[in-house]
Structure 1
Amino acid sequence: MSTSDDVRTSTSTGDAPLTLTEAPAATLGLRDAFGLWANLGVSLLLPVAAVFVVLPGRPLSTTIGAIVVGAAIGAVLLGLAAAAGARERVPTMVLLRGLLGRRASALPTALNLVQCVGWATFEIVIIAEAASRVLDAPRWPFVLVAGVLATAMALRPLGVARVLARYAIWAALAAVVYLFVEVLAEPLPLLTEGAATSFWTAADIVIALPVSWFPLVADYTRHVRSGRAAFTGAAAGYGLATVAMFTLGVVALAAYGSAGFDVIDALLAVPLGAVAVLVLVSVELDEAFANVYSTAVSAQNIVARADRRLLAVCVGAVATVLALTFDIAAYEPFLFLIGAVFVPLAGVLAVAYFATPRGAWDTSDTAPARPLLLLPWLAGFLAYQLTLPTYFAGPGAGWTAWWAARQADLGITPANGWSASLVGLAVAVSLTALVILPGRLCRRRIPA
């Protein structure tokens, strides 16, 4: 099939192209982008993760401040990648060809495939867990239903995105507002339990949520009409939803969590909370669908002519099987590891892309290798781990122990309270500027 035939096929279907060789149609506006990303941010995973951002013994306002700061940082990084995707009209992993080269882009692609399958599994787990508690039924049937529905949605992603942006967001908003009204009517005592050890470790958890969408964001914003609309829609939509959902989790724990530190149980304790939670459970399908779809699209960076529908069915099946046996206790270290890998990469991409002249970003099959830009990414990852090593128990404990030993070698206090995300980001951005900017300045000095 010729390229022109591919373009016509993609345009005529009115949905996302089936292969990477087809051109995407730019059919989404600011309202669509904002609604989609706000809806993706309204997720039960965020209030569940609130247990990790609570600063025990500190005023709730301090924890909420960490949520706002973390959401703002993560949302800006997300928005910058969203804008680049809209300008270049390619998925995120293909966008990274311009950063690292065609072959080297396979490295972040492989990491993203692992991340996307993990997130799809998390989403199916939380849907099934919440539904089983509300309806007092076994969990496994809900796992199967959620997996099948998310996979089916991934077959028509743009159609689903429009429905989510224009209709589902209102149901989600109504449920969230109702829960806030009920929770805030209760006394909010000081929380004495929580996993955060400082303001910045709490912010790191929040940063990880928007940044976890960084490797996926252009898969959707390549269909947005302008970079400005893509930036505003993704950053504002997901950022505001992140603040709302984390805050809901924190105040629900304060109001109803004294008998046990569990957010879902706390929300179910709200009058008619079961109904509101069921609404959020149904809306949660969009996150599972998005991760299934983006796993398929990311894989196309390596196998460009593979049909995303077949890939999505395979991914959905794997995530569903994993969800049947998944342990939600592994959630916190997974979040930190996501931050350690993708926060520095987001910084490298932002500096390199916006320092490159418009039209010069090469995402073709012949995009040249830029091995020097692997160094800022690696340095940012190392800086993140040395600031706050990702904690794993059991078989993964050796990983944590090794990084703790390196901290000791460098005289870094384990309980330093620093933001690993900001340290890793600062290192990555600074080194990228050192690699990119001298070359640009030299080219400017050469007479035409």
Structure 2
Amino acid sequence: MQTPLKTIRFPHFFFLWFGAAVSMAEILAGGLLAPLGFEDGLLAILGGHALGTMLLVLCGLIGFREGLSAIESTRISFGVYGAKLFSLFNILQLVGWTSIMILAAARSLNETSRHLWQIDQYGLWCLLVGALVLLWIVLGRETGWKKANMAAALLLFALTIVMSSVVFADTTVLSKPAAGGMPFGAGFELSVVMPLSWLPLIADYTRFARSGQGAAWGSGLGYFLGSCWMYIIGLSVALVAGQADPAGMLLAANLGLSVLAIVLLATITTTFMDAYSAGVSVHTLLPGFNEKHAALAVTVAGTLLALGVDMEQYEGFLLLIGSVFAPLFAILLSDYFLLGNRQLRPGLMVNWLALVIWALGVALYYQLLKLDLMVGATVPVMFATAFTYILVGRFAAKWSLQKDSLKTSA
């Protein structure tokens, strides 16, 4: 396997992941926590993101140390065909994310253009956003990640301060009580699953890092700060206005052009990462397929899908991601950091034991969602999956050694 060039440093990772976190999808997800009120919602956001970002950083370190993409690293635990299965899941997830990002952006942009210029062209906005993401992909890693993305993230940072000043102009939002209808554990879970959705992507970028510290701190801080900020904005807007989209508040403050800039830049920087990593997963599934061409195809598919889907199932989509990837990466992290299995085994085509335990973890996730636990479903599922994998794995290895010794003595 060719060793990737290690050229990406701390500031590039910080702005890459800050830009990825600043998105309408994150704002809308924060708005889902409005029934908790501001104080409990804030606690759920910070706690869930602290846990999710820690897992994100650990997966990124695997990519840096081994020079593997995120999905390729699952071969360590699941084998060649297991990695191909999860490549397919990841491609489907990322096509979904691409469509959701473009859809959410097009809605805000269309609302803004209707207010400013009486132009109502949702479909046209979808196509425009999709075209800009395609351009970002064409720019490539050196220009797109290092130069254009850092410039966009710096501008986003400034625009986000403007947005925050408008949203928090009414300080009564800080004392909004819980309206009920959502257990704290559900809000915690909706905060954990957002960084969890990036687990199958982060190593696609950290494998190019100059240092592990730069990759870990840059990615972790950039994402944690950006995502928490967006969740808090979404929570606050939903508490005041009844919906999480901040476009209405910004328009009322005569900041319509700021809406256009924030939504366009945020969507491009985030959706680029979704499409690029989908291309990496396509390459894992079909090694002869060019990553950039696959990313372009995913962007086109996501754009077309955005023209015909809605956001009604957004919460269910987030939980589906959690159910698939929480037990998957619990097994990989256990294998890598606790059991010391850190190398690809070319002869391992499929690890049935790992796949069975992963499937049980998926089933357990949905059962635990029904219990409304204080810490959500991800934490207990990951602990249970990791414990089961380590325990059963050691027993199976011991049994295998005994079996081999019996064959030798015979």
Deviations 1:114-163 (A, max 9, x none): 10100011111112111111111311111111112212322313421112
Match of 1:104, SS?
A: helix
Q: Is 1:42–2:14 an aligned residue pair?
A: no
Structure 1 unaligned segments of length 5 or more: list them.
1-20, 390-413, 444-448
Match of 1:215, SS?
A: coil
TM-score with structure 1 setting the length = 0.81
Aligned equivalents of 1:442 and 1:27: distance in 2? 45
The code of the aligned residue for 1:268 comes to L
CA-CA distance at 1:33 after TM superposition: 1.2
CA-CA distance at 1:261 after TM superposition: 2.7
Aligned equivalents of 2:380 and 2:339: distance in 1? 24
Are the aligned partners of 1:147 and 1:317 in contact in 2 as well (CA < 8 Å)?
yes
The equivalent residue for 1:222 is 207
Aligned equivalents of 1:352 and 1:132: distance in 2? 47
Deviations 1:9-66 (A, max 9, x none): xxxxxxxxxxxx654211101121122111111111111112211234x4x1111010
* Residues 144 and 26 of structure 1, relative CA distance in 2, 3 Å threshold: same
Structure with the bigger percentage of helix: 2
Aligned equivalents of 1:277 and 1:343: distance in 2? 34
Percent identical pairs in the alignment equals: 25
Structure 2 unaligned segments of length 5 or more: list them.
115-119, 401-410
Are the aligned partners of 1:47 and 1:263 in contact in 2 as well (CA < 8 Å)?
yes
| Number of corresponding residues | 392
Q: Is 1:177–2:158 an aligned residue pair?
A: no
Q: Residue 13 of structure 2 is aligned with which of 20, 23, 33?
A: 33
Are the aligned partners of 2:166 and 2:250 in contact in 1 as well (CA < 8 Å)?
no
Matches within 5 A, 1:45-444: 45-56=25-36, 58=37, 60-136=38-114, 137-155=120-138, 156-189=140-173, 191=176, 197-255=182-240, 257=241, 260-269=242-251, 271-283=253-265, 284-357=267-340, 361-363=342-344, 365-388=346-369, 419-436=376-393
Are the aligned partners of 1:117 and 1:292 in contact in 2 as well (CA < 8 Å)?
yes
Match of 2:35, SS?
A: coil
Match of 1:362, SS?
A: coil
Are the aligned partners of 2:193 and 2:318 in contact in 1 as well (CA < 8 Å)?
yes
Q: Which has the higher contact order (CA 8 A, sep 6+)?
A: 2
CA-CA distance at 1:374 after TM superposition: 2.1
Match of 2:170, SS?
A: coil
The code of the aligned residue for 1:363 comes to L
Q: 274-283 or 360-369: which moved more?
A: 360-369
Aligned equivalents of 2:142 and 2:185: distance in 1? 37
The equivalent residue for 2:407 is none
Match of 2:257, SS?
A: helix
Aligned equivalents of 1:271 and 1:334: distance in 2? 33
Two-structure CA RMSD over aligned residues (Å): 2.5
Are the aligned partners of 2:357 and 2:389 in contact in 1 as well (CA < 8 Å)?
yes
Match of 1:326, SS?
A: coil
TM-score with structure 2 setting the length = 0.88
